Amino acid sequence: MRAGSLGVPTTSEWLNDVLSPGGRVGIYPFLFSHDAAKELKEAISKKNLELVFLYDLNLVDEIWKESRPKPPNNPIRVHDMKYAGLDVASKLSSFRAELVGTGASAIVISMLDEVAWLLNLRGSDVPHSPVMYAYLIVEVDGAKLFVDNSKVTKEVMDHLKNASVELRPYDSTLSEIKRPAKANLLWKKLWALFPDLQLKALNCG
């Protein structure tokens, strides 16, 4: 069966058909958008099924183990100012003004093209797209880039330092998001998406 083909049930329809009421469906939330997870949760609740987020366990990874292909580790490069048009500090300053205007104090950016545009960086982790696997947390008083350090050249490190962007290990994103709550430093709102701010289209030059 191929999803989207005529006569093929959706994921939620299939789950509702094969599972008994009261069952639980586990997903690895990093592979779902907020809207997709919400839609799935609402759809399976009609059969009295519960959606469970497995934050610390990806069952596919457990099956793959050492046979899983290694993630790309090609070096990141700085996007030249003559193509970028605006330096990182200026972009972050404007971004923070929008952030404060919404009443928020932090945002988690997961869209790869938005991370690349904001930081004037380019990568080659995705075929035919100049982006790198990374997360970016922007707060009113700082910014942290979560990326594989092996991809970061001295030029990129200096570039980020000049913009007051800190580097963090890629796999520490979730623990960093949890940190303010544990320290009772409340973020007024934590946006996984920022719909009111339309980031400029990625300049692929």
pTM of the entire structure? 0.75
Distance CA(166)–CA(164), nearest Å, equals: 6
Taken in order of first residue, the domains within the chain and their CATH numbers are 11-67 (3.40.350.10), 77-191 (3.40.350.10)
Digitized pLDDT (tens) for each residue of the chain, 205 residues in all: 577 778 889 999 999 999 999 999 999 887 887 788 899 999 999 999 999 998 888 888 888 888 888 889 899 999 999 999 999 999 999 989 988 888 878 888 888 999 999 999 999 999 999 999 999 999 888 999 999 999 999 999 999 999 999 999 998 987 887 775 544 344 444 444 333 333 332 333 3
Token pair recorded at residue 151: 């991809």
Residue 16 burial class via C-beta count within 10 angstroms: exposed 0-12, middle 13-18, buried 19 and up: buried
Identify the bridge partners of residue 106 per DSSP, sorted by sequence position: 139, 190
Residue 70 burial class via C-beta count within 10 angstroms: exposed 0-12, middle 13-18, buried 19 and up: exposed
Distance CA(122)–CA(103), nearest Å, equals: 31
How many C-beta atoms lie closer than 10 Å to residue 58's C-beta? 15
